[in-house]
Amino acid sequence: MSLYEQKIHRWGRISGILALIMFTAYPLLLSIYFKAWPYLGALGKGLLGVIPIFYTVGVIEAFTYGPMLGAGGSYLSFVTGNITNLKAPCAINAMKVAKAEPGTPEGEVISTLAIGISSIVTTLILFLGMVLLSSIAPILESPTLAPAFANILPALFGGLAVVFVSRNWKIAVGPMAFMLILFIVQPGLASAVSLLVPVGAVFAIGVSRVLYKRGVI
């Protein structure tokens, strides 16, 4: 590995370990200070309900987003969170504007910069929102802006979809039809988007393989 890649992995591991310590330190310190510990039985039952899902999603997302975002972008994304809704779209759009392909050294740098800037901007906006919440709450909750906030994600992913579908519509038609039918038949799956992103990726790879073998693409 290059010196850049070595530093990325070194600091990525350090940041991940520090984030894990910070996530667990607050509840641990509170338990020590107040001498109030959770019941192990109730804690175990709660963990049994969420650990299989979160660990499965975590492993799948690492394989799904890693090649797309690069090492630096992946470390930043997994520490700061909100990959599907924010970090991945920012990185993909930045690489598109810079005309850099995912998996290349250029794409790696662009993705890392985009996700880093996205994380900083998100933190600043959250801080301002926290400080100005009482002032801007009536504006944000007004009926006039309600339709806009309800369509932020569709607008974001719709714009990205146009870009990628236009690149090769033959590959895009199959996965889009599959997901549309799936959500129409089972609308309740909307709450399991994190699990369905890898499923869609695997389906898209399979469709692409079949089309390539048949000489369609």
- Report long-range pairs for 96-99 (Cβ below 8 Å, ≥24 apart): 96/163
pLDDT for 18: 93
Residue 111 shares a structural domain with residue 149: yes
In a domain, 57, yes or no: no
Query: Which residues are CB-contacts of 143 (< 8 A; sequence separation ≥ 6)?
Result: none
18 domain residue, yes or no = no
Asked which of 143, 161, 179 is the last residue of a domain, the reply is 161
pLDDT one-digit tens code per residue, 159-175: 767 767 777 788 888 88
5 has a pLDDT exceeding 90? no
Residue 177 lies in a domain: yes
Residue 156 and residue 70 share a domain: yes
- Domain extent, residue 181, equals 169-217
Copy the structure tokens of residue 5. 């890649």
Q: What does the pLDDT look like over 111-128, one tens digit per residue?
A: 999 999 999 998 998 888
Total number of domains in the chain: 2
Which comes out higher in pLDDT, residue 200 or 32? 32
Query: Of the candidates 161, 181, 202, which is a domain's last residue?
Result: 161
Last residue of a domain, one of 115, 137, 161: 161
* 73 and 146, same domain (yes or no): yes
Helix axes 169-185, 152-167, angle to 10 degrees: 140
pLDDT of residue 65: 83
200 and 154 belong to one structural domain: no
Q: How much of the chain exceeds pLDDT 70, in percent?
A: 94
- The torsion defined by the Cα of 71, 78, 63 and 107, in degrees rounded to 10, comes to -40
